[in-house]
Structure 1
């Protein structure tokens, strides 16, 4: 925990950007229309039809107020590896090192890179990152999770029927939030943790 909190206290450095990555999924739901005779009012069934699941990867640079969202149909190790490569080679190609914060999900490791790419490519991408994991059961320390919560409330509260409309909704929200330069007002420090979360520290006799 203190390792992640210390990273958040670092000054902004475009050559070593601090980037948080997390993902979520949403059920796609569409209304089922009931056929009726010509001239009769349209009827909609009270039951919804499940239409698959959409996954969203959130790539968030808190100090710059920038985020990128990638919508997929799955969130496997391969998907995560592709997100890492995109982050390294497309979003931050000129960074000396990307300071990465993720939670402890089993796919959030360099092993995902080796499942997806050749050993040489996996090694190259892995070396582009300085990796920091949040503690188990403490994923709230990953600011990307906060950003996902904001996206869910602002853009995804109402069910969406299909992947196309889901991608459009997420893309529109991402563009608007980036245009506003919205940042997370993070104020929880290592010193705060030692006071407020004292119960989590070992007792020294």
Structure 2
């Protein structure tokens, strides 16, 4: 069975990739991908590439496919990752911060993360929230 994604680099592409692999300021993943493309252009199989530069066979296959489908920029660079939606919006964060800056409950010398979480739920700002989320939110606001 023949390879579905065959790499045929132009002289310009080969030069850019070679320059990238010889430059000292390239990230490890990008460097490995450039090496994969150069070896694939030499006619090496995915298994040979994987053994040669110590990556998984699937990484070699995926890099080859991404190059054929979208060019060198697509093959060399990371795709954006969406991340998780924030648990609190700006208004909710502002209320949390205002509560943290207010006087602690009677009988307490200071707010704890759990007390703040309970207070925010009590105020109806959110249905539920963990003390870890409170900590992360307050930590990112100096």
The TM-score bracket by the shorter chain reads under 0.3
More strand by share: 1
Greater relative CO (CA pairs within 8 A, separation 6+): 1
> Given the two structures, how large is their TM-score scaled by the length of structure 1?
0.19
* Larger Rg, first or second structure (1 or 2): 2
